[in-house]
């Protein structure tokens, strides 16, 4: 990737732990119009400007496996994620996860322990390391791997940030793996996007959330080695993500995330978005923003929630239609 000039905010907030500060080296902002913007992110409903801190070249030089799962995970799942991160790292695969507690932290740690490469897709700005328990881990990633965010410098952690970034985690991947997920896990959002984008989706058997994926098109796996060999075989065959088919775009509708997982402070925002959709035959994110006064990130987060609750549908071309009003 070619070097770019940077726009760095001079008044950005410090990291959560001053002794874990990360330098400005490798800090970049990349716009969708730039030639070295990751092509696969253009499949997103609205290709975002992205901030990167660390080794940006990792996104274009290696196979990418996104590993997701519950924060409150079982010991078995945590051990699997750690081993998976380590073995993928040893094979030269870029391990992408969300920097959260539980499965995310285990996958990142495994890759780092193997001397491999790993990338955390944050729900904050790349200068805000969160959660605090993972600050040392994320600081290490910034030095040896990559931090990536679709939120500007200084952006704090907000619930809708983490839901929106799940689409980006799926778009980046060659393969997506769900290690363990409960029925209301945000990992199911990532899984749904993976199927929409035509990415292979693998899931370990044994948890309620992963079991719901298999009828939607996910492949069940039983061991870490099975996942590693699958990723390696696709890499050896030169298979890369392509545009999703119309059939695949419809598959994720069968993955249901309960309405109670919607973190709509949101309920007012949901009503505004539904009203905007109900007022027209269909609308894209930009049109919903204009009608509601919400930001693009807020609209995207609410639309994801509403879609997962079967209250709207995303059509080809990134337009949405409403199903039912919010009572």
Q: List the CATH number of the domain containing 317.
A: 1.10.10.10
Parent domain of 64? 18-247
- Say yes or no: 63 and 180 in one domain: yes
140 & 274 share domain: no
Would you call 216 helix, strand, or coil by DSSP?
coil
Chain CA centroid to CA 222, Å: 24
Q: Please provide the size of the chain in residues.
A: 327
Count of other CB atoms within 10 angstroms of residue 286: 12
Domain assignment present for 327: no
| Mean pLDDT per 10-residue interval, the chain, length 327 residues | 29 35 70 91 89 92 94 92 95 96 94 94 94 91 94 89 91 95 84 90 88 85 94 74 41 40 58 90 86 77 71 78 69
**How far is it, in rounded angstroms, from Cα 298 to Cα 294?**
6
| 176 lies in the same domain as 213 | yes
Which pairs from 139-142 meet CB under 8 Å and 24+ separation? Answer: 139/15, 139/17, 139/20, 139/21, 139/22, 140/112, 141/54, 141/99, 141/108, 141/112, 142/22, 142/26, 142/53, 142/54
Q: Contact at 8 Å (CB) between 52 and 30?
A: yes
DSSP string, 1-51: ---------TTPPPPSSGGG---STTEEEE-TTSTTS-GGGGGSSSPPPEE
Does residue 240 lie in a domain region?
Answer: yes
Evaluate whether 55 touches 117 at the Cβ level (below 8 Å). yes
Residue pair 96/231 in contact (Cβ under 8 Å)? The answer is: no
Does residue 3 form part of some domain?
A: no
Residues 142 and 72 in one domain: yes
> Is 10 contained in some domain?
no
Specify the number of domains making up the chain.
2
DSSP state of 252: G
């Amino acid at each position: 990737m070619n070097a770019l000039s940077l726009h760095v905010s001079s008044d950005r907030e410090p990291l959560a732990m001053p002794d874990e500060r990360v330098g400005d080296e490798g800090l970049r902002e990349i716009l969708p119009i730039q030639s070295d913007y990751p092509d696969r992110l253009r499949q997103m409903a609205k290709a975002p400007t992205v901030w990167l801190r660390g080794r940006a070249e990792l996104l274009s030089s290696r196979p990418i496996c996104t590993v997701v799962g519950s924060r409150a995970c079982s010991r078995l799942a945590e051990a699997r994620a750690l081993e998976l991160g380590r073995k993928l790292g040893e094979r030269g695969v870029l391990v992408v996860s969300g920097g959260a507690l539980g499965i995310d932290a285990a996958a990142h740690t495994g890759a780092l322990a193997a001397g491999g490469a790993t990338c955390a897709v944050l729900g904050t700005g790349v200068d805000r390391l969160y959660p605090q328990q993972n600050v040392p881990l994320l600081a290490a990633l910034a030095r040896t791997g990559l931090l990536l965010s679709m939120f500007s410098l200084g952006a704090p952690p907000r619930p809708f940030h983490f839901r929106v970034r799940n689409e980006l985690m799926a778009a980046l991947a060659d393969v997506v793996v769900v290690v363990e997920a409960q029925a209301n896990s945000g990992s199911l959002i990532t899984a749904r996007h993976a199927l929409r984008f035509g990415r292979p989706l693998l899931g370990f058997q044994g948890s309620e959330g992963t079991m719901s994926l298999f009828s939607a098109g996910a492949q069940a796996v039983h061991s870490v080695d099975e996942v590693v060999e699958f990723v390696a075989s696709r890499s050896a065959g030169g298979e890369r993500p392509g545009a999703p088919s119309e059939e695949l775009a419809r598959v994720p509708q069968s993955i249901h995330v309960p309405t109670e997982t919607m973190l709509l402070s949101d309920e007012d925002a949901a009503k505004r978005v539904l009203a905007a959709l109900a007022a027209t035959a269909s609308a894209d994110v930009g049109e919903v923003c204009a009608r509601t006064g919400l930001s693009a990130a807020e609209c995207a987060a609410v639309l994801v929630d509403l879609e997962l609750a079967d209250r709207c549908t995303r059509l080809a071309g990134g337009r949405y239609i409403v199903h039912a009003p919010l009572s």
